[in-house]
Amino acid sequence: MAPPKRDVVWLDGLRGIASVLVVTAHICRSLFPHLITPALSDRGDATLFQLPFFRCLVMGRASVAVFALVTGYINALGPLKKSRAGNADAALTGIARSSFRRFGRFMIPAILATLISWLACQFGAYNIAHLADSAWIRDSSPRPSASFAGAFHDLFRSLIKTWVDGGNDYDKIQWTLTYLLKGSMLTYLTLVALIYVKPRWRMLILVGMFLFKWRSGDALVGFNVYCGILLAEVSIDPDVVDFASSHPYIQAVTSASLIILGFLFCSYPEEHAEWARWSRKMEDFGRKIFPEGAEYARFYPGMGADALATGIMFNPTAKTILSHRYLCWMGRLSWPVYLIHAPLIRTVLTWVLFGASVRPPRGQDAQGNQLPPGWLPLAKPWVVMFAVPLFYVFLYRAADLWLRYVDPWCGRVTQHFEDLVFRDDAKVEKPLLVS
């Protein structure tokens, strides 16, 4: 039996949920930082969203792993299908154009987002953020440059450092972009090396590369990218498809178990795992399976994302849910949402939640010395309750405008350079998804 028609719509839904969780994680880190830990203190008392499974709704580290996995899956699927069809030369042509296009589609929007944040900074849009009673908002909000020339120097330095070491002063969350771009290039390099290899041997080599990245400690991108490539290969393998369709009970039990296990792994806290019994057990288990010196708060979410994606791929119900048009719409907006959400949190949301507050007066220490004024307190709970949902509406409306007007312009600029440097005979079809 031939493999079914390519179906990757569910990945759009998965990516949409991941982007929402990134936003939610940064809002919670700003307003409710205690949710980072599995309990309120070392005594073990916990709120609902500090418990396993529930805390997945307020954590964002698994989302980065999902982005890396989707990058590997989507970028590999087309070339792998061509390779299996005996059209490896066309696959190599597509890889060449896609790898070049990736730089423009990644770097141009990121430069524009940095430029917007830089302008906001220089005109004082982050002034309230500097005084807010939120460590994440204060620490991630840059201050205006000392001079006109210094402002352009700082902008240029941030644009360069974004792709060198992730040190963008005007949008600190762009530190992930250099790793995701490296993940894309790792995918293309692997495909070039394996495009002529027989499918069975290619899957075996991909398993070996997954284990190598695991053992080397590359939990942020490495083994997640290889998991995505491997899942793309498995999804179009006729024997795997036949086995899954002829054993529905095994497929259902296995996929459900992987999804549950994935959510558990994604629940691992970023800090103070020793404060809760369940996270202590996971920490003990991690010492047995992770390489020495591994960062468990990266490895566990990466494992969780891989297990979730594998379970979903073999679960028709889960794929149907993720293929809902609203989730797919969110997936199409995931890139602009990621780029603009942090500056909007530090401006629009901060203005609403902290701008109307009164700064506490100066106090005195035990020696009678004047202390600096306190931070601007968070608004009343009912204001937060209404403001945060409205912020999501505003954010997604802004992201939709970006997708309508800014993203096509970035695509045209990329296409212009692509047409400029490539030969006319290097033709390739457009990719199914831009992850």
pLDDT tens digits, one per residue of 255-272 = 999 999 999 999 999 999
Are residues 331 and 11 in contact, defined by beta-carbon separation less than 8 angstroms? yes
Band (pLDDT 50/70/90 cuts) for residue 426 is low
Q: String of b and e for 374-405 (b: at least 16 CB within 10 Å)?
A: ebbebbeeeebeebbeebbeebbebbeebbee
Between the CA atoms of 296, 301, 302 and 306, what dihedral angle is there, to the nearest 10 degrees? 140
Q: What pLDDT score does 364 carry? A: 60
For 212, residues 6+ apart whose C-beta sits below 8 A from its C-beta are: none
Q: Tell me what percent of the residues of the chain surpass a pLDDT of 90.
A: 81
**Residue 157, Ramachandran bin (φ over 0: left; ψ between -120 and 50: alpha; else beta):** alpha
Q: Which residue has the higher pLDDT, 92 or 426?
A: 92
Q: What pLDDT score does 44 carry? A: 81
Q: What pLDDT score does 399 carry? A: 97
Q: What pLDDT score does 7 carry? A: 67
Tell me how far apart the alpha carbons of residues 183 and 280 are, in angstroms, rounded to a whole number. 31
3-state DSSP call for residue 364?
strand
| Vertex 94 angle, CA 106 and 202, to 5° | 100
In terms of Cα–Cα distance, which of 58, 31, 34, 56 is closest to 46?
Answer: 34
R_g (Cα) of the chain, nearest Å: 23
**CB half-sphere exposure, 385, CA atoms < 13 A:** 3
What is this structure's pTM?
0.91
Query: Can you tell me the mean pLDDT for 40-56?
Result: 92
Q: Residue 123 has which token pair?
A: 């005109």
Res 98 pLDDT > 70: yes
132 forms beta bridges with 376
Q: Over the stretch 321-354, which tens digit does the pLDDT of each residue have?
A: 999 999 999 999 999 999 999 999 999 999 999 9
